[in-house]
Every structure is written in C-alpha cells, then in structure tokens.
Amino acid sequence: MAKKRYTIKDVARMAGVSVSTVSLVINKKGPVSEETRRKVLHAVHKLDYHPRRVAQGLASQKTGNIGFILTDDHFSLVEPFYTKIFLGTEVEARKYGYYIILTTVPNQFSKEHIPRFLLERNVDGVIMAGRVPEKLIAYIRDMGLPVTLVDYYNRRQKTAAILIDNIEGAYQAVTHLIELGHKKIGFVGGDLSHPSISDRLTGFKKAMEEHGLPIVPEWVITTERNTSVPSGYQAMNTLLKSGELPTAIFACNDAMAIGCLRRLKESGIRVPDQIALIGFDDIDAALQMEPRLSTIHVYKERMGALAMQQMASMLENGEQSTEKVLVPVELVIRESTARKAD
C-alpha cells in the first residue's frame, strides 16, 4: 500500500542527467541550461518528487526548523495571547518552507530544562515570546543560533525583537480618557521590571503630563506581583480603600482590567457611568465582558509573522540582527469608557 517514494537518483535517471544537476535545478543554484532544466523539472513533476527533509538537513547542515519557546505560564494562560503569536509565526513559516517546533520552558529555568531541539541541534534559529529566562537567551546566542524575541526585550542582550508600541498605546488609551473629560485618572499595573509594563506606565505619565494633569501617587498601583485577573482584583481593592476614587482607570492589560471590573461590580460601582475603564491587549475575553471592554488592540498574529520574517532574513544573511521592530497598536472604543458624568 505504502507508495514507493522516489529519490533524487530516480529523477536524475529519468531526466538523463547527474544527481548533482538535479540538485542544482531544484535549489535554483548554479547555471543550468534551459534545456536540462526543463527535462529535470519534467521528471520531478512526473515522479511527484520531493526531497526528503532529513537528507537535505544532514547534507546542508540546516534543519529547516525554527524553535519557538514560551514559558509555561505564558502558554497555559487562559488568554490565548501568545498562542496567537505562535499561530502567526506558524503560518508565515510555511511560506518560507520552515517548520516550527514549539516548546515551553519553566519560568524557573535551569540547565536541565534546555529544550531538546537545542541539544540535538534540530533548529536553525529560535523565536521566543514573552518574558523569557535570561540564561536561555544567552545559551542560544552562545550556540551561534539567531534569536528573535517577541514582546520582550532585554537591554543587555543584543537580539532582534518584535515589540508592541507600548508607550504609544498607553498614551492613546489615556488620551482617550482625557478627551472624554476625565481628569482624575488612575493606573493599575504590576511588576515594573517587565519592560512592557514600565513602558505602559511611561505612556500613561506622558499623556497626563502633556495635558497638564496631576499624577496622584495613590492612584498609581504598581505593587502587584503579576498582571493577572486576581491581581487586578486586588489592585482595585487597594484603590477602593484609599479614600477618593479616580473617575477613570487605565489598566496595564485586559486581564487586570477584568479583575478591576469584577471588584467594581461587587461594590456596585457602575462602569462606565461612575468609573471609566480601559485595558490593553484586546484579548478575546475583553469582548465577553459586560460592559465590553475598551482597550488597545495588539496585532498578535502580525507580530508572530514579523518575527518569522525577521528570522528568515537573519538566516539568509547568516548574522544576528539587533533590529527592533515596533508594531503599531490601535485604540478600540467599546462600552467600558464613556464621557465623564458631572
């Protein structure tokens, strides 16, 4: 039943040329006469020949695979944020003829967690999304493999990266609130050591300052350890206990915004009537909320695709790029933000 698969030899025989000539034609290298090219391609077609990846790999010392690394918590998250980035990469990879091998590593990374595809030299390059262990980045760079980071950037490692325009996004979100007439605006964030979060805070401050609005320290919550729904809930809790409330809140991501929303509902505070709320990321859940969440849309699939493009060009040039691509975002106005009631 299993059909016989032809090899390059069969093609060569059929076309009446040598094996190496067939290889040249297939890989579009070296000069080949129009005549032989035709003959070869005809034979290829006739036999439905496809070179075996594994053989190409051994001979050319390229596997044709790209590793895609996420940390455990990023992938197991309810929100398919990084999953979408992955998908974008996967689809783009196909265009280039690469395979993507996905793996996750624990946040508490140590030597024995080194992905097998690195040990076995089974990838030509690595794309990593989200905050990823420092050591791992260094290890891969050390192997001489090109690296692209997505949605993360570390000042010390000189790698290529695809980044959300966090400052601009936050700026837009806060400006939106200001244009709705809000003057008392709070920031809900966490873990400022993460570059994305601190950038979003920067954007917040920039918008406030440019419009001559005061930044009230009690309304800037940055004590939460992470940026999950429960953290948002907690942060809102803190805010509620601190006397006067702001009239609008910019949460550093949708997950935290959802946490805030939940806490506000429990206190019977109406969104957006009493407090306007805007998030960041535009995860799927933002659309499920009541009210539906205004947010900053992030083009996740696009980011994944861009990472693959960057990787492909590094693979072509054979050198590690340090280019940082800033991907624009888009303000999405839904129901959780409204003109300030007076």
Partner DNA sequence: AAATAGGATCGAAACGTTTCGATCAAAGTT
Partner DNA sequence: AACTTTGATCGAAACGTTTCGATCCTATTT
Using CA atoms, how far apart are residues 185 and 214, in angstroms rounded to an integer? 9
Which of residues 42, 58, 78, 319 is near DNA by CB under 7 A?
58
For residue 271, the number of C-alpha atoms closer than 13 Å in the C-beta half-sphere is: 28
Q: Is 20 in the site for DNA (CB under 7 A)?
A: yes
Q: Is 83 in the site for a second copy (CB under 8 A)?
A: yes
Per-residue CA distances from 230 to 67, 77, 236, 258, 267 (Å): 32, 13, 10, 9, 16
Alpha helices in 144-210 (DSSP H): 166-179, 195-210
Q: Is 26 in the site for DNA (CB under 7 A)?
A: yes
Q: Is 56 in the site for DNA (CB under 7 A)?
A: yes
Q: Is 46 in the site for DNA (CB under 7 A)?
A: no
Q: Does residue 147 sit in helix, strand or coil?
A: strand
Using CA atoms, how far apart are residues 128 and 123, in angstroms rounded to an integer? 13
**Binding at 3: pick from a second copy, DNA, none (beta carbon under 5-8 Å per type):** a second copy
Tokens of 80: 């398919």
Q: Give the range of 36-44, 94-102, 195-203, 311-319 binding a second copy by CB under 8 A.
A: 94-102
Q: Is 55 in the site for DNA (CB under 7 A)?
A: yes
Q: How far is the CB of 2 from DNA (least distance, A)?
A: 12
Tokens of 169: 């996004």
Which of residues 38, 45, 46, 52 is near DNA by CB under 7 A?
52
Using CA atoms, how far apart are residues 15 and 340, in angstroms rounded to an integer? 77
Q: Give the range of 49-57, 94-102, 143-151, 241-249 binding DNA by CB under 7 A.
A: 49-57
Interface residues with DNA (CB under 7 A) are 7-9, 16-24, 26-27, 29-33, 35-36, 49, 51-52, 55-56, 58-61
